[in-house]
Structure 1
Amino acid sequence: MEKINLNGTWALYYTDPSEDKISEFSQKGIADLGIKAKVPGDVHLDLLNAGIIKEPLYGKNAELCKWVQEKDWWYSREFIVPRDFIKEKADLYFAGLDTSADIWLNGRKIGKHNDMFISYSIDVTGEIKEGKNLLVVRVDPGLRSVKNKVNEDRYPHISSLEKNSSFRMWLRKAQFSFKWDWAPYLLTCGIWREVELRSYKKLAIRNVFVCPDFQQGGKAKLSIFTEVENFFSREVSVILTYTLQGEKKYSWEEEGKIQAGLNSIKKDLFVDKPILWWPHPLGEPFLYSLQLKIIQIDTRETIDCKKEKFGIRKIELVQEPLGKEGKSFTIKVNGEKVFCKGTNWAPADSIVARVSRDKYRYLLESAKKAHINMFRVWGGGIYEDPYFYDLCDELGIMVWQDFMFACAFYPDDNPKFCEEVRHEANIVVTRLRNHPCLVLWCGNNENDWIYRRRVEAGQNLPTFYGGKIYHQILPDVCARLDPTRPYWPSSPYGGEDPNSEYRGDRHHWDVPINIADPIKRVDFSLWLKDKGKFISEYGTFSVSSLESLKKFIPPDELYIGSSAWRHHGNQFEKDTLNTALEFYFGCKVKDITLEDYILLTQFLQAETLKSSLEYFRQRKYRCSGALIWMHSDCWGTISSLSLIDYYLVKKPAFYFVKRAFEPIIITFQEGKKDELCLWIVNDTLKECRAQLEYGILNLANSKIIYTNVVQIIIPPNASLQVADLKLSPGTERESLVFAYLKSNKEVLTSNRYFPTKFQFRKLKLPKIQTIRRQVKRISKDVFSLTLWTDKFVWGVCLNFPEEVELNDNYFDLFPHERKEIMLRGKEEKVNQLKIDTMNTLMRKI
């Protein structure tokens, strides 16, 4: 196969919807009329670059961009085809068109497409010509294609989201673009993924699927399923060569005859002592590379070649009886149970075409550093860029992959719609099934649960529209095209109650959203009572950093409650943050500065996530996963649920989660009256032999009230209670519990517990006069920062210019303990360090 890359600069022009310009534009293009456009891209970005609109995600500018959805958007470009490029077969390949599109080549209409999620390939054999060619694409966001299909009586609005469109359930388009609680209404449009012209000689390898299976004696059988298309009307005799590159190189050859048309070929390869792909922290994510070549026997010419990366691993979904607690919901990889520590992944930008490779790599490498081993790719977004899955393969991060259906009825009584869904699923499963990171297919986000809730609330909904998709079409496609992974119908799902604590996966949104009473709605101790088997969604709000706020809130509106502030808020927040600050910190919003308000909300998010994650992990494998909503934001937000904001600023919660997700942790659990139990959780496949030192610290005088040391052995992949201690009633405000796990004097992990729990206003924190510091240069632009003090410090906040990278932040300091932080940045930026602490803030409020 040869390719001509058609990415880059195109011409872009918009008109009112009309048939009048089709003849003119399809024949001549719009180069003399339009502005410059970048492909892949989005019309909003091109308008922004041309100065026609302002940044849509700043202030309330998104509301000023609604006119974009009402226009026809015309792209055109010329390209040159060399003489020797034209062979037996040519395809024009669009990796993504958003959403409704018509395509013309050299004045002739060659295609029509209406699905943002999938690629579109057009046979242009005989249409392309040597020399100059003209390609024209008309695209719009898709609304007009479904305007006559809306039937609100048949498919009523069933979610708690604002009702912004009756169209979205009909459109195969990112559902969050119609506005979600955490995202603006902004309908994207454009040629949003790559475009290329492909030329084939005689034969083409259309698809390769590597299906691994473990054999007795330490072997792996790789069943290679290949589709080859023969463009001749006669058979072609070929040699197929398979080259497998791993730690060793393996090669196989076989002769065969390729019949006219599409051929399916299966070849079983056997590998001795294969190196397996593992998610962290169970092992390394080893990847193999397979190269398949087709050589014509009579000419010895290589006709086509295809490479695929894959991993050898086995995935299982285990649901075992747990007595009164119901059934487990556990992912097993290579026969080992995995506690899934992760986040929900939604698109990293409301303008999805704007997410760069650099942004993907930063977000995913940050996840790896935070010990995250699973993303749930949420069903209201997109099937992510191939680079996303490549990185997950490389980093050992598992992917729970939703199909793109979320919080709505979908018209499964419409045969054409069902066929479109089946076609989409075929393409998506085929595209993603070689990625070892992908461990589970899931039919939708919350549709089964929402339907059940509405029926129980008395709403007259005799038919679950969409059920046929999730319970018939999608499982059929997955079973046929990808038998290596489990399929799960919905999230949450399991048992008679789709959101049961006793079966399947669970979304815990009672706190901080669904409970009506405002005080109970912020009772985060309810998280610590949840018996869910796999918490696939939960989280809480915090405000983005002040520097981030300044990037999307106009200066004259940078205050709580302004119009822009509300525009970037979350409809479900419902004054929850203000209630929580008064309840847990004892302060009213009107009495504190904006900076203090931000930091308090961020520490509340961090502390509550920390405690809940430790609780869920301590319950392994009665609970087998906890996925926080959400990893990062798609725009600047006020009531943010993320760990990393839109501008890539890591919130305190990121660092707290990083520590709570370490492979080995200490957790605390309340026992009988005044008793505190200490547990060790070991997520590795190695036994842990260590020394546990624990005790109670008096906050007022920094003296240790009680201490003890025990030798412990924690089995691999286990959670075990190892000690307990008595707390003295009446001393909660002046004390904290600490614990260190050490091996050969090296601290493996540590933790602390406030007896006041989330009632931080009751803590008697010491006054901090100074925190001593020492900065050492390690190498160019790399420094170590060492901090120490003589008192306990809660929440040391290191404030650097955003150009400085650091490996830890928002941590505690214990008396006379030295904490070393690694910094990367220019010396003049490193020297601008300012330190804040929660001790100082709590005394101020």
Structure 2
Amino acid sequence: MKNILLILFMFGIYLTASSQNQKTLLKDWRIQSSEKVGNKGELISSGNLNKKEWIRANVPTSVLNALMVNGAYKDIFIGKNIEKVDTKAFKKAWWYRTIFNIKDLDKTFLLKFEGINYSAEIWLNGKKIASEEEVVNPFRQYKFLVNKYLRKGDNILAVKVYPPKPGDYTIGFVDWNPAPPDNNMGIFRDVLLISNNGVSIEDPYIESSFKNGNYKETDLIFTTYLKNFDKDIKGDLKIKIGDISINKKITLKKGEYKKITLTSKDFKQLHLKNPKLWWPHTIGTPELYHAKVQFIANGKEIDSQEFDFGIREVSQYFTKEGHRGFKINGQKILIRGGGWVDNMMLNDTPDYIKAQLEYVKDMNLNTIRLEGFWGKDQTMYDLCDQMGILVMVGWSCHWEWEDYLGKPTDETYGGITSPKDIEMMSEAWKDQIVWLRNHPSIFAWSAGSDCIPKPELEKKYFDIFHKYDSTRAYLQSAKEWTSLAGPSGVKMRGPYAYVPPVYWYKDTLYGGAFGFNTETGPGAQVPPLESIKKMIPEKDLWPINDVWDFHCGRNEFNTLSRFTEALNKRYGEAKNVEDYAFKAQVLNYE
């Protein structure tokens, strides 16, 4: 999604480049605990309020992040300050409230929530449009037709967000970070008010098909859904891809929801010769195409969408030893990457994300692995498309271990085992795939990490994968499991702590340099001195103590002892923090 171009109204409605009619609610939100302002949604979503009681917030934001921005908590990342945050404040529901202006009620209006953690009631102008039983799970996306609730002029939207509880499939940092004191409760992704003139273009998608390893020609397959909210209509579906223009006559009955598929069999323009291919940056140029989709009736634009996509093929092979390998556009590629996780407050900025990805390229890596569907929006995925960085996306092991999930788990299948949970998480899987599938940088969807999905769940995952996006790899686990999909062909044997460089060449059983190792690392990674001073109080800078260890990982990763022992033995015992930080960079590089 491109940057916001033009402010339309007061009260936080913006026009974005992804659609002529799509608006993003960003500014002038207020939040407050239900403990202070009560639970009556019909009152909170109508009439005036005492602004002094409410806290200004920019959505998307977690509750704690909004409080930090407003100065309620300071320097929580220094020392052990995060332990001083009272978690009781986040056991209750919190309200999010905004006002937006509607000038023309003749349009069709849809209200879309791209991510709420964990469940929510949604109120508009004194009326409840969804309950906390209907809006559940941060990875589900929800869209509501709201015309009957709207009025001309100011409209008041109030969202009562309930925090995740033990056993909920929430956003998780596993053992990489302490759990945020609010468990990231809040509206952590965009809220969109989408308008059209009676017909909605939904989930447009373009995939490329190659034949017999010939990459000098490709067939594009375009799919979208059209939803008619009005009377019977005839119109033209227009697609423009670079210099290619396509026009398809469409008839929709009142209330009809129709899937449209266009191929080169009907439109020769969709057969491309000498296409500009998307490549990882270590092989070639990550070429992108821009698509614009319009539905026109009686000379009037009813709806439109715009998006970027790439033309490329992801394929797999298995070695005689059973190790999985990947090809991009028929060319074998050695996957070299690192793990990616969002900031603990889920408040990464575009500049911060870009800087991190530039590090990836500077280190000559070509991949990042996301244990989770990270991102408060699609900025990171857009940048990976543009920079030629492959992305492996999928579920985290956070839900596969009882200590993190907060309820008993199965040692093979993790926590998602009940029929209710299987249904919810398969819908979340679908929502995330559909949301992200136009990104050529994504080369694998991962359905599990340390475990595999229960067969009933994997069948649903697999059906969704084949229905909505089978142009990339399906990976059932990051570990050596065999499931309905066959063997994973990958390994997850560590190591997770310091080993000397010779290990990678000598070891032939565990994490050595053979096969596809989905996760491994040196454990602790001590940052430069400037960064150390941003997190460790001056009085605790030397010698290393429990404050340093507090900033390590959790559980068995909560100490620098092994790293420090290796540093002292290889480079001589550190004399002070400056000496330690310098030698740590050498050890990190090694």
The TM-score with structure 2 as length reference comes to: 0.84
The answer to whether the 8 A contact 2:367-2:389 is kept is yes
2:526 to 543, 566, 573: 543
Residue 444 (structure 1) aligns with: 448
Q: How far, CA to CA, are the matches of 1:99 and 1:228 in structure 2?
A: 30
Matched AA of 2:220: L
Q: How far, CA to CA, are the matches of 1:224 and 1:510 in structure 2?
A: 44
Residue 219 (structure 2) aligns with: 221
Q: Give 1:403 shift.
A: 2.4
Residue 161 (structure 2) aligns with: 139
Residue 78 (structure 2) aligns with: 58
Stretch moving more, 523-532 or 592-601? 523-532
Q: How far, CA to CA, are the matches of 1:18 and 1:447 in structure 2?
A: 43
The answer to whether the 8 A contact 1:212-1:221 is kept is yes
Q: How far, CA to CA, are the matches of 1:567 and 1:373 in structure 2?
A: 31
Q: Give 1:330 shift.
A: 1.0
The percent of aligned pairs where both chains have the same amino acid is 26
Residue 572 (structure 1) aligned with residue 556 (structure 2)? yes
1:363 to 356, 377, 386: 356
Residue 282 (structure 2) aligns with: 281
CA 20–104 in structure 1, closer or farther in 2 if over 3 Å, else same: closer
The answer to whether the 8 A contact 2:542-2:576 is kept is no
**Number of matched pairs:** 533
Q: How far, CA to CA, are the matches of 1:20 and 1:8 in structure 2?
A: 23
Residue 505 (structure 1) aligned with residue 490 (structure 2)? yes
Matched residue SS, 2:374: coil
Residue 192 (structure 1) aligns with: 188
Q: How far, CA to CA, are the matches of 2:33 and 2:275 in structure 1?
A: 55
Q: How far, CA to CA, are the matches of 1:428 and 1:318 in structure 2?
A: 26
The structure showing larger relative contact order (alpha-carbon pairs under 8 Å, at least 6 residues apart) is 2
Matched AA of 2:540: E
CA 601–184 in structure 1, closer or farther in 2 if over 3 Å, else same: farther
The answer to whether the 8 A contact 1:117-1:383 is kept is no
CA 606–480 in structure 1, closer or farther in 2 if over 3 Å, else same: same
1:96 to 91, 95, 115: 115
The answer to whether the 8 A contact 1:188-1:351 is kept is yes
CA 63–470 in structure 1, closer or farther in 2 if over 3 Å, else same: farther
After superposition, the C-alpha distances for 1:211-254 in whole angstroms (9 at most, x for unaligned) are 210147732111111111112343x2212222111xxx111223
The answer to whether the 8 A contact 1:383-1:404 is kept is no
Residue 428 (structure 1) aligns with: 432
Q: Give 1:38 shift.
A: 1.9
Residue 303 (structure 1) aligns with: 302
Q: How far, CA to CA, are the matches of 1:48 and 1:383 in structure 2?
A: 20
Q: Give 1:388 shift.
A: 0.8
Q: How far, CA to CA, are the matches of 1:99 and 1:600 in structure 2?
A: 43
The answer to whether the 8 A contact 1:117-1:382 is kept is no
Q: How far, CA to CA, are the matches of 1:254 and 1:15 in structure 2?
A: 51
Q: How far, CA to CA, are the matches of 1:93 and 1:262 in structure 2?
A: 18
CA 72–55 in structure 1, closer or farther in 2 if over 3 Å, else same: farther
Q: Give 1:21 shift.
A: 4.2
Residue 272 (structure 1) aligns with: 273
Q: How far, CA to CA, are the matches of 1:470 and 1:509 in structure 2?
A: 27
Matched residue SS, 1:16: helix
Residue 476 (structure 2) aligns with: 489
2:394 to 377, 394, 402: 402
Matching of residues 584-599 of structure 1 within 5 Å? 584-587=570-573, 592-599=575-582
Q: How far, CA to CA, are the matches of 1:193 and 1:433 in structure 2?
A: 18
Q: Give 1:375 shift.
A: 0.9
Q: How far, CA to CA, are the matches of 2:584 and 2:210 in structure 1?
A: 49
Q: How far, CA to CA, are the matches of 1:472 and 1:17 in structure 2?
A: 46
Matching of residues 516-665 of structure 1 within 5 Å? 522-528=499-505, 529=507, 530=512, 532-540=514-522, 541-570=524-553, 571-573=555-557, 574=559, 575-587=561-573, 592-607=575-590
Alignment RMSD (CA, Å): 2.6
The answer to whether the 8 A contact 1:30-1:75 is kept is no
Residue 5 (structure 2) aligns with: none
Residue 172 (structure 1) aligned with residue 169 (structure 2)? yes
CA 480–131 in structure 1, closer or farther in 2 if over 3 Å, else same: same
The answer to whether the 8 A contact 1:44-1:188 is kept is yes
The answer to whether the 8 A contact 1:103-1:110 is kept is yes
Matching of residues 38-437 of structure 1 within 5 Å? 38-65=58-85, 66-82=87-103, 84=104, 86-112=105-131, 113-143=135-165, 167=166, 170-176=167-173, 180-186=175-181, 187-215=183-211, 218-234=216-232, 236-245=233-242, 249-260=243-254, 261-268=256-263, 269-296=270-297, 299-321=298-320, 326-347=321-342, 349-352=343-346, 354-379=347-372, 382=374, 385-406=377-398, 407-408=400-401, 409=409, 410-437=414-441
Matched residue SS, 1:278: coil
Q: How far, CA to CA, are the matches of 1:64 and 1:394 in structure 2?
A: 41
The answer to whether the 8 A contact 2:41-2:123 is kept is no
Q: Give 1:120 shift.
A: 2.2
The answer to whether the 8 A contact 2:30-2:55 is kept is yes
The answer to whether the 8 A contact 1:242-1:291 is kept is yes
Matched AA of 2:479: P
Matched residue SS, 2:582: helix
The answer to whether the 8 A contact 2:197-2:302 is kept is yes
Matched residue SS, 2:28: strand
CA 405–184 in structure 1, closer or farther in 2 if over 3 Å, else same: closer
Matched AA of 1:532: F
Q: How far, CA to CA, are the matches of 1:2 and 1:495 in structure 2?
A: 46
Q: How far, CA to CA, are the matches of 2:186 and 2:39 in structure 1?
A: 21
Q: How far, CA to CA, are the matches of 1:600 and 1:7 in structure 2?
A: 45
The answer to whether the 8 A contact 1:207-1:228 is kept is no
Matched residue SS, 1:536: coil
Q: How far, CA to CA, are the matches of 1:139 and 1:29 in structure 2?
A: 20
Q: Give 1:40 shift.
A: 2.0
2:54 to 25, 31, 34: 34
- In structure 1, list runs of 5 or more residues that go unmatched: 144-166, 449-465, 513-520, 608-845
